[in-house]
Structure 1
């Protein structure tokens, strides 16, 4: 008997969700103090490649350490279109890498500056070990707005 219902969309993995937004936040510690740093990311062969400014030295603090990385669609989701809000977080070991030309191209144009100094890219590869995803389903009729 035919059904008028459309098939449910295939589930998307948390790592695939990262491909829907360009930036996230890297968390680790440096000199025994925690820090968060913004990073551009791409997904390549199940691993996450990050591009960040080398002038801060954050990439060196992360090299060989377990880091946390998170990204979300909080600023990109459209309640008008019924998009759910989601966030993805993962932990895993990081290492400094040099992306191949194809990977470097996926990052797109780099920022011109970081904190007023010329942007100098550094790249990390993170192998996600523990991955979590959280969603907030508002439904198509519930608008997400900031209170005045």
Structure 2
């Protein structure tokens, strides 16, 4: 039955709205999270991260999870000129990762790289995730709801 509603964005479309997310896997039998810059190309997720940590090597050939959200970017619109529609979302993708060497056009999509990572010169490493599973979660707010932190 046709509707006038705009279809909800897919997980990959939501991912395109923010530049950074968190990669999750394990290294030496311990779980870890690492921040990464991402772009979406041909239905796959390309990540750029600092090679000095070795995280890309721990992920190569393994199943990983990658997640991103707009929790810091979206804010309920209280009519005060604040930013955002108030809808918060998060997405998570699970699938195999492999080290890749992006072509110049793909590398350009990432934009400028950080200068340093933990005080070291930033040396990029790239991973590609072929997402086999995707999960989306949304939290809808209206203008009457305020976001407050407990004291």
Structure 1 unaligned regions, length at least 5: 1-6
* Structure 2: distance between partners of 1:127 and 1:72: 19
User: Superposition RMSD on alpha carbons, in Å?
Assistant: 1.4
Task: Indicate which of 111, 136, 141 corresponds to 1:138.
Answer: 141
Structure 2 unaligned regions, length at least 5: 78-83
Question: Would the aligned equivalents of 1:82 and 1:140 in 2 still touch at CA under 8 Å?
Answer: no
* Structure 1: distance between partners of 2:67 and 2:58: 18
> What's the CA shift string for 1:66-102, capped at 9, x where partnerless?
0011000000002114331000011100000011111
Question: Would the aligned equivalents of 1:23 and 1:41 in 2 still touch at CA under 8 Å?
Answer: yes
List, as ranges, runs of 4+ consecutive aligned residues in structure 1 with deviation greater than 4 Å: none
Task: Indicate which of 23, 26, 29 corresponds to 2:23.
Answer: 26
TM-score by length of 2: 0.90
Partner of 1:4: none
> What's the CA shift string for 1:20-42, capped at 9, x where partnerless?
00000000011111110000000
In the TM superposition, what is the alpha-carbon distance from 1:15 to its structure 2 partner?
Answer: 1.0
Task: Indicate which of 98, 116, 121 corresponds to 2:119.
Answer: 116
Task: Indicate which of 82, 95, 99 corresponds to 1:96.
Answer: 99
TM-score by length of 1: 0.91
In the TM superposition, what is the alpha-carbon distance from 1:58 to its structure 2 partner?
Answer: 0.4
What is the SS of the residue equivalent to 1:61?
Answer: helix
